Amino acid sequence: MRRGVYLTEDFFWMKRSGFILFFFSAVFAAFAQTNAEISTTREMSLPDCIQEALAHNLGLQIERYNPQISLYSLHSAYGGYDPVLSLSGQRSGSDTGPGSHTDGNSLSSSLGGLLPWGMTYGLGAKAMARPRRQTCSTPPAVRFN
Q: How many residues does the chain have?
A: 145
% of the chain residues with pLDDT over 70: 74
Helix (H) or strand (E) holding 53: helix 46-55
Instruction: Determine the 3-state secondary structure of 27 from DSSP.
Output: helix
The pLDDT score that the predictor gives to residue 142 is: 55
Dihedral pair phi/psi, residue 82, rounded to 5°: -70, 140
pLDDT tens digits for range 42-61: 888 999 999 999 899 999 88
Q: Which of 1-5, 31-35, 122-126 has the highest mean pLDDT?
A: 122-126
pLDDT tens digits for range 109-142: 999 999 988 899 999 999 988 766 666 555 555 5
Q: What is the pTM of this model?
A: 0.41
Contact status, residue 108 vs residue 126, Cβ threshold 8 Å = yes
Nearest to 80 by CA among 109, 120, 124: 120
**For residue 82, what is the DSSP state?**
S
Which CB contacts under 8 angstroms, 24+ apart, belong to 15-19?
A: none
User: pLDDT-based confidence at 34, cuts 50/70/90?
Assistant: low
The pLDDT score that the predictor gives to residue 37 is: 62
How many whole angstroms separate alpha carbon 85 and alpha carbon 76? 19
Report the DSSP pairing between strands 84-97 and 100-114. antiparallel
User: pLDDT-based confidence at 27, cuts 50/70/90?
Assistant: confident
Nearest to 137 by CA among 101, 109, 111: 101
Q: Residue 2 carries which side chain, given as an amino acid letter?
A: R
In the predicted structure, residue 1 carries a pLDDT above the cut 50: no
